[in-house]
Amino acid sequence: MKRLSDIGTIKDILSRHGFSFSKGLGQNFLVNPSVCPRMAELSGAGEGVGVIEIGPGIGVLTQELCALADKVVAVEIDKRLIPVLRETLGEFDNLKVINDDVLKLDLNKLIEDEFQGMRVVVCANLPYYITSPVIMKLLEDKLPIDYITVMVQKEAAQRICAEVGSRECGAVTAAVNFYSKPEMLFSVSAGSFMPAPKVDSAVMRLNVYKQPPVELEDDKKFFTVVKAAFAQRRKTVLNSISSSLGLEKQYVNELLLECEINPQSRAEKLKLEDFAEIARRISL
C-alpha cells in the first residue's frame, strides 16, 4: 500500500488531475503521515466493522480504514475527486465511494443497504464549515453506530468535550452529551495539512449511547430548551429562555423554581438533567 500522506505523492496526483483546492468545501488535506494510522486505529475499525467516512479527499485516511475494516463507504461531495480516488484507492475491493453531500443522504438507509450484519462506526477529517451540522445529523438521525471519530477545529473539540455544567459548555456540548460520551483523543497542528489552516485541530471520539442518559418523552423540546437557554449566554437562564421562546417571565420563573433551578444562574451551570426537567414541564 503506497502511503498517500507523502507531500510529493499528493502534489503529483493533484497536478496530474488538474486539481485546485476549494476553500468553500473545507479542503485541507492531511500530509502528516502519523495522523491517519492513529486515527483509524482508534476509530473502532476492524474485523466485522463497516466504516462511513465523510470527505475522503484523495483517500489518505480512507486507505488506513480500508486496511482495517470489512467495508468502507466514503461520501465525497466534490466530483473532481472521484477519478482521483479511483486511481489512489483502486486496489481496495472493500471500498464504495458515493459522490454526494453527506447532509442530504439518508444514512439509516445507507447503513441498512451497505453494512448488513456489521457493527458500524464513522471516521472523518471533517470540513470545518459543517462540523456542527454533520455531528448533529449523525446523532439526531439515531444511527445504529458505536463511535464517531472526527477531526475538527481544536476549539470546537474542546467545547464539545467540555463537562456539561462547566464554563466551556455550550448548546452543542449539551446536545452531543445527550447522545454520546465525548472523549478528546489527540491534537493535530495546523502544519499537518495542505494548505495549512489558520488554527490547530483535534481528534475526538463520541462514544454513542444505546440509551440517552436522561429520560424524555419529547427530544425536540429538550433541544429547544437547550438552544433557548444558551441563546444569550451572558444573560440569566430566566431571561434567555423567556426572551428566546417569547414566554412570560413570571411563567418561566415559576417553572425554573419548580425544577429547583435558580432562575438567576447562567445556562452553563445547568446539568443535562436540569434541561430535561425543564423540557418535561414546559408548555410551548
Complex with ligand SAM: residue 107 or 276, whichever CB lies closer: 107
Window contacting ligand SAM (CB under 6 A); options: 97-105, 114-122, 182-190, 252-260: 97-105
How many positions of this chain bind ligand SAM (CB under 6 A)?
Answer: 23
What is the DSSP code string of 201-245?
EEEEEEEE-SS-SS--S-HHHHHHHHHHHHHTTTS-HHHHHHHHH
Rg, Å, the chain Cα set: 21
- In the list 45, 50, 51, 76, the residue contacting ligand SAM (rule: CB under 6 A) is 76
230 makes contact with ligand SAM (CB under 6 A): no
**Closest residue (Cβ) to ligand SAM?**
55
- In the list 70, 78, 140, 183, the residue contacting ligand SAM (rule: CB under 6 A) is 78
Percent helix, percent strand, percent coil in the chain, to nearest 5: 45, 20, 40
The residue with cell 414546559 is 282
Closest CA to 66 of 88, 83, 34: 88
77 makes contact with ligand SAM (CB under 6 A): yes
**Are the CB atoms for 113 and 98 separated by under 8 Å?**
no
Q: Can you name the residues that pair with 180 across neighbouring β-strands?
A: 208
- CA gap 206, 123 in Å, rounded: 10
- CA gap 267, 243 in Å, rounded: 14
Question: From the CB of 206, what's the least distance to ligand SAM, in Å?
Answer: 18
Question: From the CB of 159, what's the least distance to ligand SAM, in Å?
Answer: 19
55 makes contact with ligand SAM (CB under 6 A): yes
Question: From the CB of 179, what's the least distance to ligand SAM, in Å?
Answer: 21
Site residues (CB under 6 A) for ligand SAM, limited to 246-275: none
Question: From the CB of 79, what's the least distance to ligand SAM, in Å?
Answer: 10
- In the list 43, 63, 125, 240, the residue contacting ligand SAM (rule: CB under 6 A) is 125
1 makes contact with ligand SAM (CB under 6 A): no
Question: From the CB of 128, what's the least distance to ligand SAM, in Å?
Answer: 7
Q: Which residues contact 250 (CB under 8 A, 6 or more apart)?
A: none
Closest CA to 84 of 188, 170, 10: 10
Residues forming the site for ligand SAM (CB under 6 A): 25-30, 54-57, 60-61, 75-78, 81, 101-103, 125, 127, 130
